[in-house]
Structure 1
Amino acid sequence: MPPHKSENTLRRGTACLSCRKRKLKCDGTRPVCRQCTKMNRGHTCEYDDKQRKSRTQLLKEQLSQLERRLHELESKSKSSSSSPAPPSPPFQYDFESFGLEAFNDAPVASSSKYSLVNATSSSDTSPSPTPSGSRLANQSALFHPGDKYWLPSESSRPSSASNSVLGAPSQVDPRVSLSPRARRYLLDVFMNHRHQCWFYASMDRFLNSSLNQEPHPALINAMYLLACHFAHMPFYSEMIPAFFVQTQHEINAALDTSDRLADIVQASSLLAIYLYMNNRVVEGYRHTFSAVRLAIGLGLHQISTSNTIAKVYPRQTPLIPIAPPRDARELSDRIFAFWQVFMIDRCWSVANGLPLALPDKNTPQCRILTRWPSALGHWPDDGFQPPIQSFFDGLDTLGASEQFMPALKAKAAALYELTSRSKTFGSDPNDWAYCFAEAAVQRFSSTIPSLTFDRDYFMVQTVIYTSFVHLQRHVLFDGRALKAGNSIVQLILQLRDADWQYLDPIISVCWFTVAEMFICAIMSAKVDAFAGDVSNIVSVCTSGLDVLSHALTTYGAYCPLSGDLALKVELARG
C-alpha cells in the first residue's frame, strides 16, 4: 500500500513567500524551510500568516486608504477660520441610497512598478502654477491680449494667498474682476485647447448669451481655470488658485441644489484633467470618481438614439432625476459629457494603477448603452449590441475616415484600458483574453490612416501603439513591442515647435510607458538575458530613449506631469 502523502501536502497559501515567488515546493518548516536552507536563502524565508482577504475586501481597504489620505490633505489645507467643519467633498451623494452600490466592486487596474506617482505626491494642496512667461511667440493676436483685451489693474487682481484654501470659496467670483474682453479671451484660449481636455460639447451657449440655456458657473469657472493654465501668461497664472477654489465651491453648491447636474459632470471632468496634468493624482482621481458616479446616477451611460438596441437592452430608469434634453444639441452635449469622463477614467485610472470608477460589467445597471459621439444631427444606427462590446467584437463597420474624432479617441481609450490588463492575462498567443485584445487593437489600427501629422490623430496613434506595447511588454525581443515603441518615436520626430502646447496630457504617460520598455530591453541585453547579437536592439532603444527623454522634458514646459516623468526616466537610465 503506497504511503499516505497528505501529511506532506501544505494547505494553499501556507508556503513561504520565497518559495511561492519562485514556484518551488515548500515543506513549510519554520523558521526556515528546507528549500531556502538548501539554496542559502534563509534570510528571505518569510511566512505570510495573515488571513487571506477577498478581492472585495482588498478593494474596500484600498479605497479606505485613499479616503484617509484625502482627509489628511483636507486637514492640512483647513483654514484658520472659526468654522470647525472640514471642506465639503466635491461629490456629496450617498450612492447606496441611489442604488449605485452595484458599481462599488470595481476591478482594480493593473499597478505598475513604475507607477507614475505615489499618493504623497499630492500633499501640496495649492494649485500648481503654470510656467510663467509667454511661450506663444508665433501665435496670432488671439493669444496676445495687448490692447485688444483689457487687463485689470494690479489692485483688482485676486490674491492667491487669500484663496489658497481648497475648501473655502473665494470672497468674490474671480470672473467679476475680468472685463468682457478678457472673458472672451479666456474662452478663445479654451476653445483652442479643449481637445486636450476631451471637451467636445457645443460652445454656442458659452458664446451666445441670448440662448436660454445658460451653463452652470462651475463649468464656466472650470473652463477659465484651464484657459489660465494654457495661456502661459503671468497675470492669468496668478488667477489659477482663485478659479480652482471657486470651481469646487460652485460644484458643491450645485450638488446641494441639484442644479444643471450634467454641467457638473463636465466641470468635475475638467478639474480632474487639470489635476492629472499637474501630477496631483489623488485629487484628480477623486474628481474623476465623482464625475463618473454622477454621470451614472443621471443615466448618461445609457443614452440611445435608436429603438433597435433599446428593445434588446432596456434602459434603466435614472437614479437621479433629470429633465429630458430640450433639443438635439443638449442631447449631443450629454453624450459628449459621458464619453469625456469615460476617457478620463479609462486612461488616467490605468496610468496611475487605480481602480476604474466605472467598472466593466455587463449588468443592467452598469452596461454602457450610450452611442459613440458623432456630429450633431448625424445618428447612424446603434446596432443590436452595446457600443463597446460591438467595437471589441469587430462589428463596428465604420472606418476611421468615416468616424468622428471624439469617437476615435474614446475607442482608443477603451483599447488602452483593455490591453493594460495584459499583466493579468499574460502574453500567451494561445490565451483567449490575449487573442481577443490583440485582435481588437489590430482591427482598429488598420482603420487609422497614415497622415503626415495631425494633432488629434497624433493622440489616437500614440495610444494605439502604446496598447501594442501593453500586449507585448512580456516578450521584449520578439520585435513587435520594440516596433510599436519606435513608431511612437517616429511620431515625436514629426512635432514642430508650435505643436507641443496642443498635445493631449495622456501622451506623456504613453511616452513614459515606451521609455520603461526601452530601459528594460537595454538592461536585459546587458545581463545576457537574450541569446544572440542584440547590439542593434540596444542601439535602437538608446536612440529612442534620447528622443523620449527630450520629448518629456520639452512637453514639461506645458504639462508639469511630463517634466516629472522626464526626471524618472533620467534616474532610471542612471
Structure 2
Amino acid sequence: MDRPLHRGSGCHECRRRKLKCTGTKPACDRCVRSSTPCVYDPVEKSKVALLRDEVLVLRQKVKALEAVMRPSLPDQHALLDCFLAIRHIAYDTAPLHSTARTAALLLAAHFSPAHRPLAPALLEATRAAIDDAIKAADPHLVDPRLVDAIHASSLLATWLVLHARVVEAQQTLFGAAKLAIRFGLHKRPDAPDVFWQLLELAAILMGVNVSLPWEDCPPEARVEAPWPHDPLQPRDRPNPVQSVIPDLFKHKPPPASPPALVPKALVLLERAVRLGAHRERTQSPRASPPLEAVEQTDEAISNVLELLPVSRPTSQLRRDCLHPHTLLLCARVRLHERLAARDHVSQLVWVQSAVAIVRLLDTLSQDELVHAANLVLAYAWIASYMVLLHERYYVPYHPDSDHAARIKADLDRLESLLDAVGAKMPVISSMFRTSVDQFHALRTPTDSNNDDDDDDDDDDDDHSQ
C-alpha cells in the first residue's frame, strides 16, 4: 500500500487536473497510463537527512584533525624549529601552550615548503582548538586557557595576512581583542606579553590607520597596562617605573626597557598616521593636523629615539634596534607627509627621515634584513621608497647631479630588499607593487613625457659611447 502523499507533493500534471496522485517515482500511475511527462517539485531534505549530512561533514573534519594531532615527531620538531626562527614576524615572545602550539605549527608550515600540504588540516585544527579553549575557560577569571586562545588567535591572524586573507585576519584579531577587553587584560598591571602581541599586530594588520584603544576611545576600552616587562628582571620584582602609554607625551618620559621600544614606536606610528589622515577625515584639501598635536608627537618621537643605543653597537644590538628605529623614522615620515607641500621644514624632515631609513639598511647584510623583516618593517620601507620616488620625479634635480644619483641608488637598494622579502612573503610584494602602480597612475602626462625625454637622453648617451 502506497504511503499517502502530503498535500501539494503530487506531480505537476495531477495537481493541474486536481486529481489524486499516487506519488510513485519516477512517474505516477496516471501519467504512465496517459503517456504524460511526470514532473515532481524538488523534495527538501528532512531534518533527519540534514543531520545525517552534518554528521558526515563532522566525521571528515575529525579525521583531518586526528591526522594533524598525530604528526610524526620529526615533523613536529622541524616545524617548531622553523617557528622559532620566524616568530618575530608575529611579534611573538610568549611561551607556547597547547592551543598556541597548534597555531605555531600552522604559521611555520607557511615557511616550510615540505610541510605546506599540512596547512589546510592545521588551519582547521587551530580554529577548533581556539574555540575549545574559549569554551573551556572560566568566564569569571583570567583563565590561562583564555590567554592561550588569544595567543593562538594572534598567530592565526598573521598566517591569514600572509595569505592575503586580510578581512579574516581583522575579524580574528577583533574577536581576540574583545576577549582581552572583556576580561580586563588591557588594564592589568601584570598584563601578559600576549596582550602586547595582540595590540602590536592589531596596529600592523589594520594598516596602522585604525586608532588603537589608548586615545579618543571609551574609558572601558582604554589601555592602562604598563609597557611590556623586561625579561632580564625577575617577575617578582616590579619595574622601577610603571610607565604607561600617556607617559610618552610628557616632557621627560621615564626610561624604557628594551621590550617596550617596539610597542612605543608602534603607538607613535599609529598616532602619526592618524594625524596625517586628518585631511581625509575633514574632507578639506587645505586641512592640516593640529600643529600642537604634531609638535607633541614629534617631540615624543625624539624622546624615544634618544633611548636607542648609539655608541659602538654590536651586530646583535643593531638587529635589535633596527625595528624600533625604523618605525620611529617612519612615524616622522607619516607625520610630516601632509605638511611637506606647504612647509619647507616639514618637507626637509619628510625626506631626511626617509633617507635615514635607508641608511639603517647599510648597517646589516641583505640576508640579515630579509630574516628580520616583518609586515610593519616592510610598511616602513615602502613608505621610504615612495618619498624617494616622489623626490626623483617631482623635484627638479639635474639628472647628472650627485643627489639624483644617490636617490636612484637608494631606490634600487629598497627595491632589491622588498623584492627579496616579497619572495618570502608575497603579500609584501603585492603591497609594494600596488603602491608604485598607484603613484605612476596619478602622475600627469607631462611627467610621463619628461621621463620619456630622460630615457631618450640615456639612449643617446649609450649610442654615443
TM-score by length of 1: 0.57
Q: How far apart in 1 are the matches of 2:199 and 2:372? A: 21
Match of 2:173 in 1: 288
1:537 shift after superposition: 5.3
Q: How far apart in 2 are the matches of 1:347 and 1:570? A: 20
CA gap 1:541/1:452 in 2 versus in 1, 3 angstroms: farther
CA gap 1:174/1:358 in 2 versus in 1, 3 angstroms: farther
Question: 1:349 touches 1:356 (CA, 8 Å); kept in 2?
Answer: no
Match of 2:275 in 1: 422
Match of 1:249 in 2: 128
Q: Equivalent residues in 2 for 1:247-286 (5 A)?
A: 247-258=126-137, 260-286=145-171
CA gap 1:410/1:255 in 2 versus in 1, 3 angstroms: same
1:536 shift after superposition: 5.8
Q: Which amino acid letter does the alignment assign opposite residue 484 of structure 1?
A: S
Root mean square deviation, CA, Å: 3.3
1:358 shift after superposition: 3.6
Match of 2:327 in 1: 463
Question: 1:335 touches 1:370 (CA, 8 Å); kept in 2?
Answer: no
Match of 1:490 in 2: 359
The correspondence for 1:547, drawn from 401, 410, 413, is 413
Q: What secondary structure does 2:254 align onto?
A: coil
Q: Which amino acid letter does the alignment assign opposite residue 251 of structure 1?
A: I
Match of 2:186 in 1: 301
Match of 1:388 in 2: 245
CA gap 1:534/1:510 in 2 versus in 1, 3 angstroms: farther
The correspondence for 2:431, drawn from 524, 546, 565, is 565
Deviation readout 1:19-43 (Å, 9 max, x if unpaired): xxxxxxxxxxxxxxxxxxxxxxxxx
1:394 shift after superposition: 4.2
Q: What secondary structure does 1:479 align onto?
A: helix
Q: What secondary structure does 1:365 align onto?
A: helix
Q: Equivalent residues in 2 for 1:175-324 (5 A)?
A: 175-202=68-95, 206=96, 215-216=97-98, 218-230=99-111, 232=112, 234-258=113-137, 260-304=145-189
Count residues in correspondence: 362
Q: What secondary structure does 2:196 align onto?
A: helix
Deviation readout 1:204-247 (Å, 9 max, x if unpaired): xx5xxxxxxxx33x3111011122223x3x32122122212211
Work out the percentage of aligned pairs sharing the same amino acid.
Answer: 23
CA gap 1:534/1:496 in 2 versus in 1, 3 angstroms: closer
Q: What secondary structure does 2:64 align onto?
A: coil
Q: How far apart in 2 are the matches of 1:382 and 1:356? A: 26
Deviation readout 1:144-164 (Å, 9 max, x if unpaired): xxxxxxxxxxxxxxxxxx99x
1:522 shift after superposition: 3.1
**CA radius of gyration, larger in:** 2
1:569 shift after superposition: 5.0
Question: 2:211 touches 2:270 (CA, 8 Å); kept in 1?
Answer: no
Match of 2:226 in 1: 371
TM-score by length of 2: 0.69
Question: 2:319 touches 2:364 (CA, 8 Å); kept in 1?
Answer: no
Q: How far apart in 1 are the matches of 2:277 and 2:71? A: 51
Structure with the larger helix share = 2
Q: What secondary structure does 2:380 align onto?
A: helix
Deviation readout 1:325-367 (Å, 9 max, x if unpaired): xxxxxxxxx520111111111232134x4x4474634654123
Q: What secondary structure does 1:421 align onto?
A: helix
Unaligned runs of 5+ in 2: 1-51, 139-144, 280-286, 441-465
1:424 shift after superposition: 4.0
Q: How far apart in 2 are the matches of 1:224 and 1:479? A: 46
1:303 shift after superposition: 1.0
The correspondence for 1:434, drawn from 271, 274, 294, is 294
Unaligned runs of 5+ in 1: 1-80, 88-161, 207-214, 306-333
1:372 shift after superposition: 1.3
Q: How far apart in 1 are the matches of 2:182 and 2:319? A: 34
CA gap 1:550/1:498 in 2 versus in 1, 3 angstroms: closer
1:433 shift after superposition: 0.9
